[in-house]
Amino acid sequence: MRKSVIKKLVMVALLGLIMPATGFAADTIKIGVAGPHTGDLAPYGIPTKEAAEMVAAQVNAAGGVLGMQVEVLPMDDQCKPEIATNAATKLVSEGVDVVIGHVCSGATKAAMGIYKEAKIIAVSPSATNPPLTQSGDYPNFYRTIAPDDDQGKLASDFATDKLGAKRIAILHDKGDYGKGFADFAKQFIEAGGKAEVVLFEGVTPGAMDYSAVVQKVRREKADAVIFGGYHPEASKLVSQMHKKRMKIPFIGPDGVKGNGFLEIAGKDAEGVYATGPMDVSSYAVNQKAKADYISKYGKEPGTFFDQGYAAMQVILNAIEVAGGTEYAALEKALKNSYVDTAVGKIKFDAKGDAEGVGFSVFQVQDGKFVELK
Amino acid sequence: MEYFLELSSSGLVRGSIYALIALGYTMVYGIIQLINFAHGEIYMIGAFVALIVSGVLTIYGFSGVSILILAGLIAVIYAAAYGYTLEKIAYRPLRNAPRLSPLISAIGMSLFLQNYVLLAQTPDFLRFPALIPDFEFMEPIAHIMGSPELVILVTSAVSRVGLTVLIKYTRIGKAMRATQQDMTMARLVGVNVDNVISMTFIIGSVLAAIGGVLVGSYIGQINFYIGFMAGVKAFTAAVLGGIGNIPGAVLGALVLGLTEAYAAGYISSAYEDVFAFGVLVLILILRPSGLLGKAVKQKV
């Protein structure tokens, strides 16, 4: 007797889950927000969730998107791939239209296949692993953060397009960071075909001097140097290049862009280029988002807040432009219309990376790093 | 051809610096058979003192060459004091101890001095002003050899000549040679061996400090750790040339500097250390006592 009551209750409960999904699908837009909301890595996931909820509340108060209310469905994946697949399956079965997430690259990779089959677009605020977009495996994947190789690409594009370099020497300090950057720069220069990598070489950090390798750069008739590494080696190289009367541009990564470099290299620093994270704090949207957050939560927003905020903005904009949540129309909207977001004015390229986000080139002018627009 | 000259110039400059440090290693070893691992630290301290003094002098309105000479002079005096004290507190009490004890004491002093400078100054790199001026007449060949390089080569050569004169023609030089040949006998004929050993440390420290000042000014940056690698390289040079042998240390240093430059220039700078130490291994296989070293007969 009792058993059948429980059975009935379960049936009702299950039906209850199905009912709203079909019943209200027409007049709400469901956005899943997947990421670590519990566990060690929660500080990376919570700010995005909060950003999405904040934007949704504001949009809903103003009448929603296309007359529909926006509903945010948070889903915890703890940054673990095995939990991420469950979270993704759950979101799909709840009928979400778009997903913001996931946060960690590994979890994102695990979940993407499920969204791909369900034809759901996912916009990650933080998964920086380059192959997620570049492999072409996940055409439904977008991100509002620059991928790891973006600095290398920026440096190589800057050298070939802005500086017009044809013969580029790439040096690095043999470390993970420096060589990683140098490898990406080399890869992009070779793929671009506009210039030639005439020298790709590691230097020994802490060696007495780099005059031999500087002479080598000269012999190869390089017209620009891209260096992967940190400021002590960079300043040594720059000052030795000047001592050897070489006046070719020198481009470093964000390990060079800092006061340490300016102090040690002194007047040799003048004119040196370095890539570094773009300064977004002057954007009106970014300032407003931060101010709203502080007035609501009483503290500074956490990691990936800007990117999460931007992800929500681009999604809602795309839905508005596309006139609905149909996959192909959304895709077209994401790739074609610029949106003023918390990380700047962005749209997505063919592979799903945001254009106009990430790193800028800076140059030392009068003893200061100045962002080149 | 020009490329070869460029590399040779950079190798000679490096070799000249190594030679200044290697002389200290080899002289100390020649007299008391001790490898003074703290010697690289004296070089580093020389550079730091010069940096501090040149900062002060700049405030007082001195300029260019006068700063270089004054800062160099004070650095040399300071380093000599460090060398003297080092010997007195870390090695003299162990004069008759087993040979391993002063060696461990030397490593301890090296770590102590490094960390002392780290705490007293800073763990960061510091900018060293370019004290060596650019001479007009060097401008046409500045891409092969600039003024700082010329100054390094000349200073290093003059220091070596000075050392040779000191050892060959002065009283203390004679005493040093006597002590090197047989310490007990030298003592018996009235040589004050303790003074001679102190003097050896002082001379070695002076040379190392000159090297430190030149390198700082040439490279433009120093930190507390520069003495370690320079010390290892100079020690390698001393062994390469035959440790205990003064012309050998200079030869070894130049060979090492040139090897590094050619390896970096013609093969890969990522492997310059590999070639430097490869040459050391090769020479020690072919000539176990180094390029100019004499095989020591075991006294029975």
Q: What is the ipTM of this complex?
A: 0.89
Question: Stretch A50-75: mean pLDDT, rounded?
Answer: 92
Residues on chain B touching A245 (C-beta within 8 angstroms): 142-143, 146
Closest alpha carbon within chain B to A243: B146
- pLDDT category of residue B143 using cuts at 50, 70 and 90: confident
In this model, does residue B216 exceed pLDDT 50?
A: yes
Contact A215 B17 (CB under 8 A): no
Radius of gyration of chain A (CA): 24
Residues on chain A touching B11 (C-beta within 8 angstroms): 212
- A187 class by beta-carbon count within 10 Å (0-12 exposed, 13-18 middle, 19+ buried): middle
- pLDDT category of residue A22 using cuts at 50, 70 and 90: very low
B229 lies within 8 A of chain A by CB? yes
Contact B143 A218 (CB under 8 A): yes
Question: Stretch A334-350: mean pLDDT, rounded?
Answer: 90
CATH of domain A150-271: 3.40.50.2300
B14 lies within 8 A of chain A by CB? yes
Cβ partners under 8 Å of residue A74, min gap 6: A32, A33, A34, A37, A49
**Amino acid A24: pLDDT:** 45
Q: In what order do the strands lie in the sheet with A69-76?
A: A69-76, A28-35, A98-100, A121-124, A141-143
**Amino acid A25: pLDDT:** 46
- Two tokens, residue A20: 């709203």
Contact A207 B218 (CB under 8 A): no
Q: Cβ(A240)–Cβ(B145) under 8 Å?
A: no
Q: Is residue B181 part of a domain?
A: yes
- pLDDT category of residue A15 using cuts at 50, 70 and 90: low
Q: Cβ(B293)–Cβ(B52) under 8 Å?
A: no
B3 lies within 8 A of chain A by CB? yes
Who wins on pLDDT, A337 or B80?
A: B80
Lowest pLDDT segment from A296-300, B162-166, B257-261: A296-300
Q: Cβ(B289)–Cβ(B242) under 8 Å?
A: yes
A203 lies within 8 A of chain B by CB? yes
Closest alpha carbon within chain B to A209: B219
Q: Where are the domains of chain A?
A: 2-145+282-355, 150-271
Nearest chain A Cα distance for residue B245, angstroms:
24
Contact B268 A201 (CB under 8 A): yes
- Phi and psi at residue A294, to the nearest 5°: -65, -40
CATH of domain A2-145+282-355: 3.40.50.2300
A268 lies within 8 A of chain B by CB? yes
In this model, does residue A26 exceed pLDDT 60?
A: no
Q: Is residue B70 part of a domain?
A: yes
In this model, does residue A111 exceed pLDDT 60?
A: yes
**CA-CA distances (angstroms) from residue A119 to A3, A91, A193?**
40, 12, 36
**Amino acid A255: pLDDT:** 85
**Amino acid A18: pLDDT:** 52
- Mean pLDDT (chain A, rounded): 89
In this model, does residue A365 exceed pLDDT 60?
A: yes
In this model, does residue A117 exceed pLDDT 50?
A: yes
Q: Cβ(A290)–Cβ(A284) under 8 Å?
A: no
Lowest pLDDT segment from A11-15, A31-35, A351-355, B199-203: A11-15
Say which of B215, B225, B270 has its CB closest to residue A208: B215
Say which of A206, A232, A244 has its CB closest to residue B229: A206
- pLDDT category of residue B2 using cuts at 50, 70 and 90: confident
**Amino acid B46: pLDDT:** 95
Instruction: Note the pLDDT tens digit of each residue in A153-204.
Output: 999 999 999 999 999 999 999 888 888 899 999 999 999 999 999 999 999 8
CA A98 to CA B43: how far, in whole Å? 64
Contact A243 B269 (CB under 8 A): no
Residue with tokens 């004015």: A345
Q: Is residue B300 part of a domain?
A: no
Number of domains in chain B: 1
Q: Is residue B51 part of a domain?
A: yes
Q: Is residue B151 part of a domain?
A: yes
Contact A208 B230 (CB under 8 A): yes
Q: Choose from A204, A214, A237 for mutation: most chain B CBs within 10 A.
A: A204
In this model, does residue B215 exceed pLDDT 80?
A: yes
- Mean pLDDT (chain B, rounded): 92
B269 lies within 8 A of chain A by CB? yes
Nearest chain B Cα distance for residue A143, angstroms:
37
**Amino acid B133: pLDDT:** 85
**Amino acid A20: pLDDT:** 47
Nearest chain B Cα distance for residue A214, angstroms:
9
pTM here is: 0.77
Question: Stretch A84-99: mean pLDDT, rounded?
Answer: 94
CA A271 to CA A232: how far, in whole Å? 17
Residues on chain B touching A244 (C-beta within 8 angstroms): 142-143, 146
Q: Cβ(B49)–Cβ(B121) under 8 Å?
A: no
Q: Cβ(A218)–Cβ(A206) under 8 Å?
A: no
CA A159 to CA A169: how far, in whole Å? 11
In this model, does residue B136 exceed pLDDT 70?
A: yes
**Amino acid A277: pLDDT:** 80
Q: Where are the alpha helices (DSSP H) in chain B?
A: 2-32, 39-59, 64-86, 100-120, 147-169, 171-181, 183-188, 193-219, 226-241, 246-262, 272-286
Say which of A201, A245, A260 has its CB closest to residue B269: A201
Q: Choose from B2, B3, B5, B6 for mutation: most chain A CBs within 10 A.
A: B6
Contact B268 A208 (CB under 8 A): no
Say which of A206, A209, A215 has its CB closest to residue B14: A209
For chain A, give the percent of residues with pLDDT over 90.
Answer: 60
CA B114 to CA B120: how far, in whole Å? 10
Contact A212 B11 (CB under 8 A): yes
Lowest pLDDT segment from B9-13, B81-85, B280-284: B280-284
- pLDDT category of residue A21 using cuts at 50, 70 and 90: very low
> What range defines the domain where residue B184 resides?
10-133+141-286
Listed by number, the residues of chain B in 162-221 with a beta carbon closer than 8 Å to a beta carbon of chain A are 215, 218-221
Run of H or E including A372:
none
Residue with tokens 């490094």: B114
Nearest chain B Cα distance for residue A368, angstroms:
17
B145 lies within 8 A of chain A by CB? no
Amino acid letter, A124: S
Question: Stretch B194-198: mean pLDDT, rounded?
Answer: 95
Q: How far is it between the farthest Cα atoms of chain A?
A: 95
**Amino acid B37: pLDDT:** 92
Contact B221 A235 (CB under 8 A): yes
CB pairs under 8 A between A and B: 97
**Amino acid B299: pLDDT:** 56
**Amino acid B99: pLDDT:** 87
Lowest pLDDT segment from A300-309, B6-15, B48-57: A300-309
Contact A246 B127 (CB under 8 A): no
Say which of A201, A209, A266 has its CB closest to residue B219: A209
CA A90 to CA A82: how far, in whole Å? 13
**Amino acid B300: pLDDT:** 55
Q: Is residue B294 part of a domain?
A: no
- Phi and psi at residue A360, to the nearest 5°: -125, 165
A206 lies within 8 A of chain B by CB? yes
A209 lies within 8 A of chain B by CB? yes
Say which of B126, B233, B264 has its CB closest to residue A212: B264
CA atoms in the 13 A half-sphere facing the CB of B11: 25
CATH code, domain with B151: 1.10.3470
Q: Is residue B21 part of a domain?
A: yes
- pLDDT category of residue B27 using cuts at 50, 70 and 90: very high
